[in-house]
Structure 1
Amino acid sequence: MKKIPLNYIGIVLLLVVFGLSLAQVLSNSFKAGEITAFGKGGKKIIRIAHWQLEPGYRVAMNKMIADYNALPKVKEANIEVQQVPVTEKVYGQWLNVHLMSGTAPDICEKGFAKMTSGDYVARFFEPLGDYVAKPNPYNQPEYLPEDVKQEYPGMVKLLAENPWRETFNDGMRGGWDDKLQNHYAVPTSFFGAVRLYYNVTLINEAKQLIRKELVKSSYDQWMAYRVDNGFIKDDAKLKAWAATDEPPQTLGQLLLSCSAIRHIAQLRGQDKLVPIAGSSYSQNMFADAYKIPFLSEYAQQVDMNVNSTITALETYAAWEAGVWSFEDERVKAYYKCIEEVCKEFPPGFLALGRDQAINRFVLGQAAMVASGAWDANGIMKGASGHNDPSKDFEVGIMTFPLPAKGEKWGEYVSYPSNEAQATAGAPYAVTQRSQNVDWAIDFLQYMSSYAVNQQFNRDAGWIPVIMGTSPTEQMMPFSPNPFGLSKGAGVNFYPGSTNIRTIYDGQLWLYMSGDISYDTFASRVVEGLDNKQNGVRRLWYAEWEKTRSNFRNDERMLATQKIREMYKNDPTASDKYIRGVFKVVAGNNGNGIRSDWLDIHPDEEFPEF
């Protein structure tokens, strides 16, 4: 009898194992509804995927979905909506794979995944231009609360008659693709402004310690350090603030409170207690908060095309032209300010994530933590939900305080950044491979209607996006503040996915963690900028190449809008066409970038790679 080669046995076993694995995957996919659009009893399943795993959001989503599934017309059509929450750590890869394989959910939150941006949008997602130009049927009077109909008849008329996109507070800009023009995702919530959460008990204890110091003839070392080095001015304003229950109003008061917290931790032997629960997640929040107040003075000279939005290319082109330098005292002050704040973070904060920082704060091991409105619900519940009620504490909300005149760096500060340009977030798009596109859009209309969107966001602890809606009292501090300078006035150090960004980010994190000095940080970044292969010269070329690519896309978009205007009588097509013409002219097939290059480098050829 002829023996069967061992290699064949191995191949057979491998095929058996593969078959069993495939069967298991298919079984799980069928159960999860990832392969078929039909559920038990022949139900048509509409799946909505997102990465919002914050406390309250999934519960609020389930409640809203249950209400939608209970609508008579939905039950009659045998439709059932199901949510698919996926952690943000894998959401991007998960969605990319499903989009490529044709098994993506009917509705998915845009973000994290590469294929939810750029030209991929036209390939994988439904253009909703025709839908958003019509009124939202769920904003008709029969769906609105009685008190709204009685007290605000004008708003009722606007909600019922305005195009769907115009019922959003931001005009749906948060979900609009300005390159493809006709593609919209449907925003569902305002993320709200980033704020500092603070432990009222700890801050009051810090202020009590400060009051005791202020009556002494000579201060203890922790207080003397802040006063003697100019971080805080020892004057009547300091004494007046210390006598109140108000949180820090200036950066000097914030840093003094941090020193007091550290002294309290030392007196109590609480090694884990830190002033600010910093992390890799929140470090850039401080950098962003202070960028415009410190660096907006450069805006007029840096903004080459005078469009009130400074790009990374404009920032580094201005650096080449000598408009600003890492040796400027103003620039040094900006980085030194952030460095000083980061000193109040826990050791090794760059290895800590968002959840670890939040947990540290709610456990009472930090006096402050920076985050947005999306974490408010979890933080508030965590601070008041300890097993031991004696550990519960009140949470306060404050803005990022700026250096005041007379305090260190105060002479370099102008105005804060305003939040008037805030757009709605958590945008959901409908995938082209959905077998129930109309019902998916119907659910998004329901989700973004006046009554439903307000209730959903109140249940989730977020801020609603529809005109006339209002958040809960808890969320009011996160409402965008219109006072201050435009966000476009800030220099932009982050040029997309280029080598400059890698170098800048890496060296900045080393500097903020105290591993290198400012001089080392600056010299390494400058060395990277000067690199002929991967520095600013490469950025010029990359932006020129991107502009040329966008130019071709914009020309196709112009043709689309002209057809929509001529044959569909779309009243919005004309405006989009005009805006598109401006973009095409301004881009000029990349020649504008070449012209800017010659202004700064009159004797050099444009870089080629």
Structure 2
Amino acid sequence: MAAKSRKFNVAIVVLLGAYAVAALMVLTRPGAALSGDERAVVRIAHWQIEAGPREGIDAMIKRYLELNPHVRVEQVAVPGRIYKQWLRTQLIGGTAPDIIEFGRLFNADDIPPRFFEQISELVEKPNPYNKGTPLEGVRWRDTFKDGLDTPDTYIENLSNFYGVTLCTLSTRLFYNADLMEEISGSSEAPSSFAELRAFSEKLAQHNAGAKHPISMYAGSKFNGRILMGGMLSRAGVGLGISNDRLREQGQQVRDASVDYLRGNWDHRTPELLTGLKLMQEVARNLRPGFQQLERDAAMQEFMRGQAPMIITGTWDATSLTSLAPFKVGVAVFPWPDRSDKEVGQHFWGPLAEKDNTSFPLCVNRMSPHKKETIDFLHFITSVEGNTIFFEKSGWLPATRGVVVPEEQQVYLPSPVGLPVRTPYIEFGAETATLWQRQLYRLVSPQGSVEEFLEVFEKEFPDALKSDLRNKTRHLTLSLRHDMQPLIALAMLDRLLAPDPKRIHSRVVRESSQNIAETRLYEALAALERGLDVGTASRKDSSNGDE
């Protein structure tokens, strides 16, 4: 017993000692209570753990500290799988970093108005770090390639800017040039959908005599979603334009949801049936079970030479080109278009690639060092700062004036053409879950479009209604949040002398509020009354006869 007691005491002493060391490290780190380092500490959190961005941010921090030795900047990289949960915990606990990467993909509309600083006034002023460049004196938001006109930075329902961006992204086809030549006799990627189908036939011949057959595309749930979602959403562009009563060059997701409930479309329309058949076709060129795999598995499959192609975002470009043991080619994916003899009738074009800037960074409203935080954001989005990030990370710049070398211009998105607005797959969390749960009925070797639709159509309306109710709930909260500033602006117009800027701000806010309220009430009516809300057919809608 005495020996056990001594062992227990030693364990307690070791545990307390480890706790004391950990506590001392926390309390004496820069910016903490017992730290001798009195510099302001700015922390930046993000989920980009691919090769490139962390190195780019480190390089920007190094240069910034040379210019501002009184500030310390720390990078916090959190894996994407846990980032959303980690961030919400940090925000609620009051321990979140000063700069936070945040995007609409989180499906968390409540976070920006509760936790982030709105920066609408700041983006109207010049970026001081652009002094001596062609962007000197240009208001901050106009120094970005898209003018920050992206849902990740400007939240329409709140009529405010909440973030700035660091890069531009696109989706590209990366291919193993040596393996392509072995299979087809050419080291170049197919340049049309017909050529892509021809390559698929050659791959089938290649696999017929191979000991270890390979798939055409490296596959995972993520990469499969890009391929299949791209087929369906592009096939549905014409449908979205036909139903576009607000003349926005295609319907937004919420408006398409309402139109489904009004009976203006379903998944058996010719356009979407074509898209579903193409989804089935491309899915069968991915390895079996891809729906259960994460994107890392697809990267490894491609790196091992077990698939000649992979479709992914340019955020993976640095990893692919620097780590692959073979020559990696890059091309624009040859989606079906009007020229295709088999399916071209349902494809409108040309279609633009999304050219919104990305890597959205927001300011924590509770940051103790907002001045330094904003200053650091100014630097990393300046011509100098963004050039450093681009050169070190390989990710395309978000700031105008940063030169992109010719060999990397293949990554630049093409902004020419009609936008692809509605995915027709995911309208929110419930419909996304439904798609994932039933997709095997479409993509498995024994699956079919009819089998998939027979089950999917029974569950889709309830899932869509659930997603739409969630969106109306968030929209209602957003409208309430913006009501107080609107009332304040109206009272200032009564009490003070006319101010053109203040009046313009009020008019813009009121206009956004009115449009948002109109969409809200239409959605609520569609949820309650369904097909009884309006009787306009697609033909009437396309002719504007409502």
Q: Secondary structure at the match of 2:222?
A: coil
Query: Of 307, 316, 333, which residue of structure 2 is paired with 1:375?
Result: 316
| Contact kept? 2:258, 2:523, Cα under 8 Å | no
Over 3 Å counting, the alpha-carbon distance change for 1:571 and 1:453 in structure 2 is farther
Query: Of 205, 220, 228, which residue of structure 2 is paired with 1:287?
Result: 228
2-side partners of 1:288 and 1:250: how far apart? 18
Structure 1 vs Structure 2 CA RMSD: 3.5
Query: Of 348, 356, 370, which residue of structure 2 is paired with 1:437?
Result: 370
Over 3 Å counting, the alpha-carbon distance change for 1:546 and 1:445 in structure 2 is closer
Match of 1:425 in 2: 358
For 1:261, give the aligned amino acid: L
Query: Of 380, 386, 395, which residue of structure 2 is paired with 1:453?
Result: 386
Q: Quick check: 84-93 or 551-560, which moved more?
A: 551-560
| Contact kept? 2:330, 2:410, Cα under 8 Å | no
1-side partners of 2:168 and 2:459: how far apart? 37
| Contact kept? 2:45, 2:99, Cα under 8 Å | yes
Task: Give the drift of 1:325.
Answer: 3.5
Over 3 Å counting, the alpha-carbon distance change for 1:594 and 1:281 in structure 2 is closer
Q: Quick check: 297-306 or 536-545, which moved more?
A: 536-545
**Are 1:297 and 2:238 matched, yes or no?**
yes
Q: Quick check: 558-567 or 465-474, which moved more?
A: 558-567
Over 3 Å counting, the alpha-carbon distance change for 1:537 and 1:43 in structure 2 is closer
1:531-552 deviation per Cα after TM superposition (whole angstroms, max 9, x unaligned): xxx3555566555544443432
2-side partners of 1:410 and 1:254: how far apart? 15
Q: May I ask how many residue pairs the two structures share in their alignment? A: 522
Match of 1:186 in 2: 164
For 1:401, give the aligned amino acid: W
1-side partners of 2:41 and 2:193: how far apart? 53
| Contact kept? 1:190, 1:465, Cα under 8 Å | yes
Overall identity of the aligned pairs, in %: 24
Query: Of 549, 569, 592, which residue of structure 1 is paired with 2:522?
Result: 592
Over 3 Å counting, the alpha-carbon distance change for 1:564 and 1:514 in structure 2 is farther
1-side partners of 2:192 and 2:474: how far apart? 42
Query: Of 468, 479, 502, which residue of structure 2 is paired with 1:551?
Result: 479
| Contact kept? 2:318, 2:393, Cα under 8 Å | yes
2-side partners of 1:31 and 1:337: how far apart? 59
Task: Give the drift of 1:585.
Answer: 2.3
Task: Give the drift of 1:504.
Answer: 3.1
TM-score using structure 1 length = 0.76
Task: Give the drift of 1:457.
Answer: 1.3
2-side partners of 1:568 and 1:310: how far apart? 41
Task: Give the drift of 1:21.
Answer: 8.5
For 2:243, give the aligned amino acid: V
Match of 2:336 in 1: 402
**Are 1:197 and 2:156 matched, yes or no?**
no
Task: Give the drift of 1:592.
Answer: 3.4
Over 3 Å counting, the alpha-carbon distance change for 1:90 and 1:546 in structure 2 is closer
For 2:201, give the aligned amino acid: S
2-side partners of 1:292 and 1:113: how far apart? 17
Query: Of 415, 429, 441, which residue of structure 2 is paired with 1:497?
Result: 429
Match of 2:538 in 1: none
Query: Of 118, 122, 126, which residue of structure 2 is paired with 1:127?
Result: 118
Alignment of 1:223-234 (within 5 A): none
Alignment of 1:32-71 (within 5 A): 36=32, 39-71=35-67
1-side partners of 2:25 and 2:50: how far apart? 26
| Contact kept? 2:174, 2:328, Cα under 8 Å | no
2-side partners of 1:567 and 1:258: how far apart? 71
| Contact kept? 2:314, 2:395, Cα under 8 Å | yes
For 2:155, give the aligned amino acid: D
For 2:433, give the aligned amino acid: T
1:489-543 deviation per Cα after TM superposition (whole angstroms, max 9, x unaligned): x464422233x4432332135423446432221122211135xxx3555566555
Query: Of 124, 147, 152, which residue of structure 2 is paired with 1:171?
Result: 147
Q: Secondary structure at the match of 2:76?
A: strand
Match of 2:195 in 1: 253
2-side partners of 1:313 and 1:128: how far apart? 26
Query: Of 164, 180, 183, which residue of structure 2 is paired with 1:206?
Result: 183
Over 3 Å counting, the alpha-carbon distance change for 1:569 and 1:289 in structure 2 is farther
Task: Give the drift of 1:401.
Answer: 3.0
1:246-289 deviation per Cα after TM superposition (whole angstroms, max 9, x unaligned): 42122221122123224324434234x32110210111212332
Query: Of 507, 529, 546, which residue of structure 1 is paired with 2:460?
Result: 529
Task: Give the drift of 1:454.
Answer: 1.7
| Contact kept? 2:238, 2:346, Cα under 8 Å | no
1-side partners of 2:337 and 2:311: how far apart? 18
Structure 2 residues without counterparts, runs of 5 or longer: 1-8, 536-546
Task: Give the drift of 1:94.
Answer: 1.6
Q: Secondary structure at the match of 1:337?
A: helix
Query: Of 486, 496, 512, which residue of structure 2 is paired with 1:583?
Result: 512
Q: Secondary structure at the match of 2:281?
A: helix
TM-score using structure 2 length = 0.84
Over 3 Å counting, the alpha-carbon distance change for 1:130 and 1:246 in structure 2 is same
Over 3 Å counting, the alpha-carbon distance change for 1:43 and 1:520 in structure 2 is same
For 2:180, give the aligned amino acid: I
Q: Quick check: 578-587 or 91-100, which moved more?
A: 578-587
1:384-438 deviation per Cα after TM superposition (whole angstroms, max 9, x unaligned): xx3xxxxx2242323233166464323332225312x521111112212222111
Over 3 Å counting, the alpha-carbon distance change for 1:317 and 1:441 in structure 2 is closer
Query: Of 278, 283, 304, which residue of structure 2 is paired with 1:337?
Result: 278
Task: Give the drift of 1:188.
Answer: 0.9
Match of 2:398 in 1: 465
For 1:412, give the aligned amino acid: H
Task: Give the drift of 1:374.
Answer: 0.7
2-side partners of 1:456 and 1:595: how far apart? 48
Match of 1:152 in 2: none
Task: Give the drift of 1:190.
Answer: 1.0
| Contact kept? 1:132, 1:163, Cα under 8 Å | yes
Task: Give the drift of 1:567.
Answer: 7.9
2-side partners of 1:519 and 1:38: how far apart? 67
**Are 1:160 and 2:88 matched, yes or no?**
no
